[in-house]
Amino acid sequence: MSRVCEICGKQKAFGGHITRRGLAKKKGGIGMHVVKNTKRTFSPNLRKVRAMVNGGVKRLKVCTACIRSERIIKA
């Protein structure tokens, strides 16, 4: 269960990267053409944090969104 937030369950997401070539129409060209479409992954921004869990201190992998929204109490 690596690369997963232990609080909200955020994990790796999949998407694509589109490579375009050419001069845009508004700049006087004939338009941008798609040259390549490759798959890529978006990883969550995880940090190892010492947090209070059930009255004790535990080390957790937590995403930065959970840290900022104070879903955990840092120890």
Residues 10-66 have pLDDT tens digits of 999 999 999 999 999 999 999 999 999 999 999 999 999 999 999 999 999 999 999
Query: For residues 38 and 19, is the Cβ–Cβ distance under 8 A?
Result: yes
Q: What is the pLDDT of residue 2?
A: 85
d(CA 38, CA 14): 11
Q: By the 8 A CB rule, do 32 and 21 touch?
A: yes
Asked if residue 24 lies in contact with residue 32, where contact means CB atoms within 8 angstroms, the answer is: yes
Position 1 scores a pLDDT of 55
pTM score, two decimals? Answer: 0.75
- What 3-state DSSP class applies to 65? helix
